[in-house]
């Protein structure tokens, strides 16, 4: 049965449609796993409802390292199948969403006495490239001498530096990727609503038949009936009454945002001298992203980056890149996320498997567990296959690997074609008086959706101004976030529709500007006036 089609944007928060008729599938949780599940199921012809208690990607999915990658470090733990799986998906996502997934090179310096030596790295990167079959969006690895490495990166610690290697992976916008997958789900016919909480599951005997829902803004409660429910709440999934949760391990990862490293276009994969843990230093949105550390936690609610965790990352960077001399007062922002992994005994959290599994703890209830951001789309195919099995239906073939996300230019057929479209789009935005940084940033956040931005600029030329001079985000994008992207609260706009709150200090006074623009765009009065 072909899926009904709708426009991807504007996203429509229609709670009446959730109370209309029974659904084949209710997906609880609007992170990347729930969003891909809803999109894949709707594309296969199921009647789908997708709800999120806060905002799309507001949990773990907004707090990743912003990468689509194979996971080079997983080779050390012999997870070859996981790496091959992720590298194949890196290629797929680069084609499905070239505006959101972009190539990024990683440099791995090698110092004398390193835990992982040069020969071991050479072997690992050779295997990494071998596992990445088919045409890839990134080049194969390359070696660099000590002299060339220091010439390009003079802030590196010279003592014992032997040289380095460079390999390719991809960078992405995690929160906007989640948003665009939600839009793909709506385009395929799914009913999607944020700020809707699932208070408890509903059962007919032992079978799950839906959930009791609550509008988080008005408090209105209503029942949604569905033949199958997917609990994609991530680290909060076990808190849903009646869910019969499996044993999980909650792992917290933290990141810091620091000033840009002048001239740096490549990222670094580094190993902390104090304990041998791997972390990244990544150029990101005109700033530098540093992370992650991992630690086990008991609850995902209210997590934050502790001062000791921030010091650990700063100490590790400064030990390996002493020329930067970063201090705690240079940290622009910090954020933390929690992943739910399979509970198992392991010598370290790094060794805990990221392998994905699908559980069915009760009839009619499907529970995804584990996985990683990069493989969420293909993992969702397995989730929906399990849904078809729960419904007693033969599984319809998935086509999510062949369905570009909204914003992808129609003429992008091969990896690399996006650059031509982007250059033309930037030229068109320049003719409107936008500077090069702003124009490029618009193409990467919106893709072909820049036409919606341009329509707003025609409506009100004052919206052409930046929200803050140090960030390439337009006032028009706040209006667009409210009108077309289902933003309800200020943090929906400045954390997920654009990462303004992560790259400009709070003291800069931009929140009042955003609140005024949200009110002008017609956001709920209480939401626009308050702070998230």
Architecture per CATH, domain 101-171+249-351, reads as 2-Layer Sandwich (3.30)
pLDDT at position 532:
39
166 touches 196 (CB < 8 A): no
Q: Encode 389-424: b = buried (16+ Cβ within 10 Å), e = exposed.
A: ebeeeeebebebeeebbbbbbeebeebeebeebbee
Say whether 282 sits in a helix, a strand or coil. Answer: strand
pLDDT at position 5:
65
164 touches 14 (CB < 8 A): no
- Each domain of the chain, given as residue ranges in start order, spans 15-60+175-246+354-402, 101-171+249-351, 418-529
Say whether 335 sits in a helix, a strand or coil. Answer: strand
C-alpha to C-alpha distance for 70 and 129, rounded to whole angstroms:
10
C-alpha to C-alpha distance for 64 and 223, rounded to whole angstroms:
33
Sorted by sequence, the CB contacts under 8 Å of residue 416 that are 6+ apart come out as 137
pLDDT at position 415:
57
Q: Which residues are 281's β-sheet partners? A: 268, 290
C-alpha to C-alpha distance for 355 and 357, rounded to whole angstroms:
7
C-alpha Rg value of the chain to the nearest Å: 23
Residue 529 structure tokens: 């006036």
C-alpha to C-alpha distance for 415 and 338, rounded to whole angstroms:
32
287 touches 258 (CB < 8 A): yes
DSSP H or E stretch at residue 468 = strand 466-468
Residue 295 structure tokens: 């630690």
pLDDT at position 526:
42
3-state helix, strand, coil in the chain (%, to 5): 40, 25, 35
pLDDT at position 242:
80
pLDDT at position 353:
53
Phi/psi region, residue 324 (left: phi>0; alpha: psi -120 to 50; beta: rest), is: alpha
Q: In a structure prediction context, what are the per-residue pLDDT tens digits for the chain, which is 532 residues long?
A: 455 568 999 999 999 999 978 999 999 999 999 999 999 999 999 999 999 999 999 999 999 999 999 988 888 877 888 899 899 999 999 999 999 999 999 999 999 988 887 888 889 999 999 998 778 889 899 999 999 999 999 999 999 999 999 999 999 999 999 999 999 999 999 999 999 999 999 999 999 999 999 999 999 999 999 999 999 999 999 888 887 778 889 999 999 999 999 999 999 999 999 999 999 999 999 999 999 888 999 989 889 999 999 999 999 999 999 999 999 999 999 999 999 988 765 455 554 555 799 999 999 999 999 999 999 999 999 999 999 999 999 999 999 999 999 999 987 656 567 889 999 999 999 999 999 999 999 999 999 999 999 999 999 999 999 999 999 999 999 999 999 999 999 999 999 999 999 999 887 789 999 999 999 999 885 444 444 3
292 touches 278 (CB < 8 A): no
Say whether 510 sits in a helix, a strand or coil. Answer: helix
373 touches 64 (CB < 8 A): yes
Say whether 419 sits in a helix, a strand or coil. Answer: helix
Instruction: Give whole-number Cα distances, 280 to 290, 296, 427, in Å.
Output: 6, 20, 33
Residue 133 structure tokens: 């079959």
The DSSP 8-state label assigned to residue 264 in this structure reads -
DSSP 291-319: EEEEEEES--TT----HHHHHHHHHHHHH
- Report the DSSP pairing between strands 287-297 and 248-259: antiparallel
pLDDT at position 531:
43
C-alpha to C-alpha distance for 483 and 16, rounded to whole angstroms:
19
What CATH number should be reported for the domain whose range is 15-60+175-246+354-402?
A: 3.50.50.60
């Amino acid at each position: 049965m072909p899926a009904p089609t709708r426009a991807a944007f504007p996203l429509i928060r229609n709670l009446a449609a959730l109370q209309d008729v029974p659904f084949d599938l209710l997906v609880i949780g609007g992170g990347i796993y729930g969003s891909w599940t809803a999109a894949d199921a709707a594309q296969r012809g199921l009647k789908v409802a997708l709800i999120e208690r806060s905002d799309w990607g507001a949990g773990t999915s907004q707090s990743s390292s912003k990468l689509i990658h194979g996971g080079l470090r997983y080779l050390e733990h012999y997870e070859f199948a996981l790496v091959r799986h992720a590298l194949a998906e890196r290629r797929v996502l680069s084609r499905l969403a070239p505006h959101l997934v972009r190539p990024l090179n990683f440099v791995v310096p090698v110092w004398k006495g390193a835990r992982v030596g040069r020969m071991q790295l050479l072997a690992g990167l050779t295997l990494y490239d071998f596992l990445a079959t088919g045409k890839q969006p990134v080049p194969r690895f390359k070696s660099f001498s000590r002299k060339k490495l220091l010439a390009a990166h003079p802030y590196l610690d010279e003592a014992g530096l032997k040289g380095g290697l460079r390999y390719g992976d991809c960078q992405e916008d995690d929160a906007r990727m989640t948003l665009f997958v939600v839009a793909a789900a709506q385009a395929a016919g799914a009913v999607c609503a944020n700020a809707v909480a699932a208070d408890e599951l509903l059962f007919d005997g032992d079978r799950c038949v839906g959930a009791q829902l609550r509008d988080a803004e008005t408090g209105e409660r209503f029942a949604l009936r569905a033949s199958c429910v997917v609990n994609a709440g991530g680290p909060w999934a076990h808190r849903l009454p009646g869910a019969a949760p499996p044993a999980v391990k909650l792992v917290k990862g933290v990141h810091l945002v620091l000033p840009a490293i002048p001239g740096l276009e490549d990222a670094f994969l580094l190993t902390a001298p104090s304990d041998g843990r791997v972390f990244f230093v990544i150029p990101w949105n005109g700033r530098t992203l540093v992370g992650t550390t991992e630690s086990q936690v008991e609850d995902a609610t209210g997590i934050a980056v502790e001062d000791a965790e921030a010091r650990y990352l700063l100490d590790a960077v400064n030990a390996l890149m002493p020329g930067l001399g970063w201090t705690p007062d240079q940290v622009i922002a910090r954020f933390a996320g929690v992943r739910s992994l399979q509970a198992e005994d392991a010598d370290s959290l790094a060794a805990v498997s990221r392998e994905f599994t699908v559980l069915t703890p009760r009839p009619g209830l499907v529970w995804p567990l584990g996985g990683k951001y990069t493989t969420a789309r293909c993992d969702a195919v397995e989730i929906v296959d399990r849904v078809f099995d729960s419904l007693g239906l033969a599984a319809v073939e998935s086509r999510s690997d062949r369905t570009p996300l909204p914003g992808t230019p129609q003429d992008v057929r091969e990896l690399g074609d996006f650059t031509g479209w982007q250059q033309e789009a930037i030229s068109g935005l320049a003719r409107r008086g936008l500077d090069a940084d702003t124009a490029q940033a618009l193409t990467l956040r919106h893709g072909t959706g820049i036409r919606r931005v341009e329509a707003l600029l025609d409506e009100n030329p004052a919206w052409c101004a930046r929200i803050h001079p140090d960030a390439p985000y337009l006032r028009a994008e706040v209006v667009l976030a409210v009108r077309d992207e289902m933003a309800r609260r200020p943090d929906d706009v400045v954390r997920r529709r654009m990462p303004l709150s992560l790259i400009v200090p709070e003291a800069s006074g931009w929140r009042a500007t955003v609140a005024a623009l949200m009110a002008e765009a017609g956001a709920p009065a209480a939401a626009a006036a308050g702070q998230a």
